[in-house]
Amino acid sequence: MTINGCIRILSGPAYPVQRQTPAELARRLHNFCDNIDHHFWPDSVSLLDDTLFQMSAVTGPKNITDAYLLGLAVRNHGRLATFDRGIPLNAVPGGRPGNLVVIPSV
């Protein structure tokens, strides 16, 4: 899901940085995923899991995937790295500030 969304968004005409084709982005992501520090997490959580998600903290449709990815990171004792400053940490009750890393814009 994450790779599909990344390729979809970054190859779209609205993305403000240098445009790349889906094939170019897939090649770059493939190289990134080959890095020894990369770990694949299967799509193994559900937004319906009340022990992992506080859906009342999800403020709108744009936060659904963000909350899901944060929950996946928390479940796997990892971190979600993002450019999005609006991800509600409280949507995942077990989430800690270390689980959400906001990458500063350049």
Summarize pLDDT for 48-69 with one digit per residue, the tens: 999 999 999 998 888 899 999 9
Q: Each residue of 83-105: pLDDT tens digit? A: 888 899 999 999 999 999 998 87
* Spatial contact of 81 and 100, defined as CB atoms under 8 Å apart: no
Q: How many residues appear in the chain?
A: 106
- Per-residue model confidence (pLDDT) at position 106: 59
Average pLDDT of span 31-58: 91
